[in-house]
Amino acid sequence: MKYLSRAAIAALMTSAAIPAAAEECIAPANPGGGWDFTCRQVGRILTELGEVPNMVQVTNLSGAGGGVAYTHVVGDRNDDPEVFVAASSATTTRLAQNAFAGATADQVRWVGSIGGDPGVIVVANDAPYQNLNDLVEAVKADPSKVAFAGGSAVGGFDHLKVLMMLDKAGFTEARQVKYIGLDGGADAITQTVGGFAQAMTGDLSEITGFIRSGDVRPIAVLSEERVAGFDDVPTAKEQGVDIVAMNWRGVYVPKDISDERYNEWVEMLKKVGASEQWQSIMAENGLAPYDIFGAEFETFVADNIAQIQAVSKEIGLLK
Amino acid sequence: MDILANLAMGFEIAASPYTLLLAVIGCFVGTIIGALPGLGPSNGVALLIPISFSMGLDAISALVLLTSVYYGAMYGGRISSILLNIPGDEPAMMTTLDGYPMARQGKAGEALVISGVASFVGAFLATIGLMIFAPYLAQVAFQFGPAEYFALYMLAFCTLGGIGSNNQAKAALAAAIGLAIAMIGMDQTTGMPRFTFGEMHLMDGVDFLVAIVGLFAVAEVFFFIETHGKDSAIGVKLGKILVPWRMLKDTTGAMLRGTGIGFVAGVLPGAGASLGSFLAYMAEKSSARDKSTFGKGNPRGVAAPEAGNNAAAGGALVPMLTLGVPGSGTTAVLLALLLTLNITPGPLLFTERPEVVWSLIAALLIANVVLLLMNVPMVKVFVHILSVPAWILLPGVTMVAFVGIYSLTGSSYDMLMMVGFGALGYIMRKLDIPTVPVILGILLGNAMEDNLRRAMVLSNGDWTFLFSTPIAIGLWIAALAGFLAPIFLRKVLKTPPLPETDPSLNED
């Protein structure tokens, strides 16, 4: 028994061991989440395209919503040319709110984004709101009567989507907006269908099943254009509220690698984004195109963080 | 007879020789993962996901392998609970209360057989329940808002009194310690970190596995060193191991009641297997005539929580499959697995991907039968752990505990924290304070607080909102009854009311 159990542990542990001298992708969460997905798919496509000589090693380094991986890269691997890290809106949100123990966004280099999960606002099927403006008017009339449910904690990306949307629509009393944070989009949906919350915000991919089953009715998608497969869902922009909130999927690399190496990463990521494999993965997983690379992406991240900081200050998360 | 036709289809897909082999491997690995302290069903499954990818398994084979590991770990958790007083995973915590005393009396074999059969009964009936009722049960989740969940957690804490100790104040103190520890980390309702002292490892809160391995495994080792193993089950002379038919017959009722309670707890997202086994145990104890023998090696105290936790594991698949809402930590990992296989659980899964659902159900049934066949004969092997000399066994347990905890996040911080919990556990045992309520506080504290505060946000701070629906009121009455009954009615009534959600209590 003891030998068998030791053998089992040895087998399990080898999956976590880190061999040297190969491209490594750090997923700052446990297997199965969005970051892990980014690492595994990008890693696989890089290998299939022949961009890297061997398999990309995926390392799961979870903790503090990506903070453990971030400080690990900044502190210990700052000039490692072989490592890249999966990131998303959650990463910039936390950086903006200073949740990574003082680490800042300029301590790494942002390579690019190759896809995005569009934000969406849904209401229960029997709710009185027919479009985004109905909902906004209801909030303006009495913010205490409209509760939003979302899959992230207060101050997380789902909460910020609501606040930024209402801000653009002309309701600036961010502190009066009622929001309850749940553990993930599906949980937030059940609270909305059950009538406990009046509206729900989340990522489109999380809730496609509920939209198609008719349990909830989407009233706005927060992307530039309508999303393929959901052509009858109008964008917020069409309805006069100028907001785009995409949960982008991208990567960053350490700060002190050479410019040459950084440009190589950008080129490699561009090739992954343009590949057939990635296009079909996006279609299967409800992701929309959202390509930003290199210097442009660094600017995007900086703007994104400034915007989140402004909203966070309004609701008192930042001073 | 749609169900039978569908089930036949499921078996057709899932029952090839190759997948059966995977099921056997998965069950075996799972049992061992479950038995090792620190490695439970959720990190067991999480560790195997990358392996199933690198093996290039197709969706169905991967599902069979990982559900076998999942159920295997649920079965395996009981082994170290009974033999060493160290729960292999968090739902097996309640099994230590009566399982370990049985082992000390030389009845380890009986305890293992009964708990194995109880696991089978719980898991098998829950799988059948999942098959028949899943589409209807999905609606239950819509009835549970923040107020109802808060009342449900209150019910759990109200029935805590007297668990593993005769002093209710000590149980309450332990629960308060657990609740206090649960406050550490990011607060969902304000987005602010609490009690983290700027330490990033505390941002996600204290992992209950760290607490459970520290409070049970490490504390057990400390205690063993002090007493030189006088009170331990290690080295106890074992009787001949026979299938204890009589005991099985006596515990049938406990198994069935445990299954019912566990299944309901599992179906409610957010309650999960630990609450299932806890409520099953407390219900069995409070409805028993021989209450005083609980905690001293009553076989029913082994059967009820084991049936409860395995039934809850099956029940937790209902919200996971029909809503995409994971009912427990492990189903969260299974959900992630389904998503990576491009299967999106949700209201349409049963109609759009019947082959996936029914082959999953077939896989669960196969895994269960394999586990029963594997576990009962293997009891003979398991009990030999007790004949391993303590100077090999305890360092081994300690090592496994450290490795298991390190594998959680790969940080040495968790290991230090585990040793800290070990010291706390040792002190608590010295003072005769039960440790189970601490774990319960850590497990449920966050969810309980979040739901209370969500309720307050929704109602604009109106506390009567907590009593505004029939379900909430029913749960509050049950909680009140569970709290007061042992205090006032002990002498008046022979059988106090069951502390569970009895629909007849909904009269208000």
Q: Would the ipTM clear 0.90, i.e. be above it?
A: no
Q: Measuring CA to CA, which residue among B489, B100, B149, B69 is closest to residue B305? A: B100
Provide the percentage of residues in chain A whose pLDDT is more than 70: 93
Number of domains in chain B: 1
* Spans of chain A, pLDDT less than 70: 1-21, 31-32
Q: Superfamily assignment of A2-116+247-314 in CATH?
A: Bordetella uptake gene, domain 1 (3.40.190.150)
- Does the pLDDT at position B155 exceed 80? yes
How many C-alpha atoms does B55 have within 13 Å on its Cβ side? 14
Average pLDDT of the residues in B33-49: 77
* Alpha carbons B106 and B238: distance in angstroms, whole number: 5
What is the pLDDT at residue B164?
55
Model confidence at B453, in pLDDT bands (50, 70, 90)? Answer: very high
Q: Which of A9, A117, A148 to mutate to test the interface with B (most CBs of B within 10 A)?
A: A9
User: B197 — contact with chain A (CB < 8 Å)?
Assistant: no
Residues of A in contact with B184 (CB under 8 A): none
Helix (H) or strand (E) segment spanning residue B186: strand B185-186
Instruction: Please answer yes or no on whether B189 and A13 come within 8 Å at the CB atom.
Output: no
Nearest chain A Cα distance for residue B429, angstroms:
29
Average pLDDT over residues B173-195: 88
Tell me whether residues B385 and A206 touch, CB distance under 8 A: no
Residue in A178, A186, A212 closest to B348 by CB: A212
**B189 Cβ under 8 Å from any chain A Cβ:** yes
Residue B238: predicted pLDDT: 66
Q: Where are the domains of chain A?
A: 2-116+247-314, 118-222
State the pLDDT at residue B343. 77
Say yes or no: B25 contacts chain A, CB-CB below 8 A: no
Mean pLDDT for B107-131 is 91
Where residue B505 falls among pLDDT bands split at 50, 70, 90? very low
Residue A26: its pLDDT value, please? 92
What CATH architecture applies to the domain A118-222?
Answer: 3-Layer(aba) Sandwich (3.40)
Q: Which residue of B has its CA nearest to A205?
A: B344
pLDDT number for residue B503: 42
Model confidence, pTM: 0.82
Q: Give the range among B4-8, B111-115, B261-265 with minimum mean pLDDT.
A: B4-8
| Residues of chain B contacting A179 with CB distance shorter than 8 Å | 457
pLDDT at B473: 93
**Contact between A177 and A148 (Cβ < 8 Å):** yes
Q: In terms of residue numbers, what domain contains B388? A: 2-505
pLDDT value at residue B318: 86
